[in-house]
């Protein structure tokens, strides 16, 4: 049996846009009407925890109502042919619901909550809202299991190891404005093929084997799927 080629995908909010979930930098820098720092930073949470909880409760409900689109599905279909990892900056679970089995959520997950006191106390919370007064087993307020600005990105080392061993690397629907995630592209070996799918091409340094598809994720992934499975 021959070894499968290693394919790593880095995805961002743009892959979920066709599922009806808003991107972050789309609407004049506002995320669903809020300054990102107001709702995605520890300072924002300290200042107005109720607003932040309400915001993520709404995001959780919107993600539950949304369905995976062709971009998520085509990416998941590639698992039949490749040794594959999806590194996503998205907090929705649309990759999993499309069938991807190895997903690293760099910025956390809406369907989990954790203790504000001990980050290792993480709980599944796929449906119910989080309210002020909802406590972990040690009596501390629960918060969304989301990596906010200024916080550590615990899965970054794992993601970096995958990027460094990629033979094919896909960048789908991310503006590459947020580090350390954006730096993953620079770790990809020089001989790898790199594809970028985004109607507004993000800043990726020119390199041999770079293919830019200035398309929405669904259309772009249909093309890439056809190309990467031809003859397989």
Report the nearest approach of ligand OAD to the CB of residue 208 (Å): 23
Task: Specify whether 72 is catalytic.
Answer: no
Does an H or E element contain 31, and which? strand 30-31
Distance, in Å, from the CA atom of 27 to the CA atom of 53, rounded to the nearest integer, reads 21
Report the nearest approach of ligand OAD to the CB of residue 218 (Å): 7
Q: Between 36 and 210, name the residue whose CB sits nearer to ligand OAD.
A: 36
Select the residue whose beta carbon is closest to ligand OAD and give its number.
14
Q: Which of 72, 95, 105, 107 is catalytic?
A: 107
How many contiguous H segments (helices) and E segments (strands) does the chain have?
A: 8, 11
Q: Between 158 and 232, name the residue whose CB sits nearer to ligand OAD.
A: 158
Q: Are 219 and 74 in contact (CB under 8 A)?
A: no
Report the nearest approach of ligand OAD to the CB of residue 228 (Å): 18
Report the nearest approach of ligand OAD to the CB of residue 2 (Å): 33
Report the nearest approach of ligand OAD to the CB of residue 1 (Å): 35
Contact set with ligand OAD (CB under 6 A): 12-15, 17-18, 23-26, 36, 40, 89, 107, 147-148, 173-175, 177-178, 197-200, 202, 216-217
Distance, in Å, from the CA atom of 153 to the CA atom of 143, rounded to the nearest integer, reads 16
Distance, in Å, from the CA atom of 102 to the CA atom of 104, rounded to the nearest integer, reads 7
| Contacts of residue 87, Cβ cutoff 8 Å, sequence gap at least 6 | 8, 9, 10, 11, 104, 106, 159, 162, 163, 181, 184
Q: Between 7 and 13, name the residue whose CB sits nearer to ligand OAD.
A: 13
Distance, in Å, from the CA atom of 81 to the CA atom of 201, rounded to the nearest integer, reads 27
Q: Between 41 and 165, name the residue whose CB sits nearer to ligand OAD.
A: 41
Q: Between 148 and 169, name the residue whose CB sits nearer to ligand OAD.
A: 148
Q: Are 174 and 14 in contact (CB under 8 A)?
A: yes
Distance, in Å, from the CA atom of 123 to the CA atom of 161, rounded to the nearest integer, reads 27
Tell whether omega for the bond before 180 is within 30 degrees of 0, i.e. cis: yes
Q: What are phi and psi of 64, to 5 degrees?
A: -70, -35
Which residues are known to be catalytic? 107
């Amino acid at each position: 049996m021959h070894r499968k080629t290693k394919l790593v995908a880095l995805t961002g909010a743009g892959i979920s846009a066709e599922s009806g979930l808003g991107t972050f930098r789309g609407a004049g820098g506002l995320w669903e009407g809020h300054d990102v720092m107001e709702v995605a930073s520890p300072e924002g949470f300290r200042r107005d925890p109720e607003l932040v909880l309400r915001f993520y409760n709404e995001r959780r409900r919107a993600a539950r109502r949304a369905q995976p689109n062709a971009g998520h599905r085509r990416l998941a279909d590639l698992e039949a042919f490749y040794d594959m990892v999806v590194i996503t900056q998205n907090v929705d679970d649309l990759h999993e619901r499309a069938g991807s089995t190895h997903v690293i959520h760099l910025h956390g997950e809406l369907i989990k909550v954790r203790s504000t006191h001990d980050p290792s106390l993480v709980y599944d919370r796929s449906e119910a809202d989080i309210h002020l007064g909802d406590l972990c087993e040690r009596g501390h307020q629960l918060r969304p299991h989301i990596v906010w600005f200024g916080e550590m990105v615990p899965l970054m080392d794992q993601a970096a190891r995958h990027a460094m061993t990629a033979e094919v690397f896909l960048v789908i629907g991310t503006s590459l404005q947020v580090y350390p995630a954006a730096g993953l592209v620079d770790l990809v070996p020089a001989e790898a093929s790199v594809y970028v799918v985004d109607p507004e091409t993000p800043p990726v340094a020119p390199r041999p084997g770079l293919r830019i598809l200035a398309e929405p994720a669904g259309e772009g992934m249909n093309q890439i799927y056809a190309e990467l499975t031809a003859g397989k």
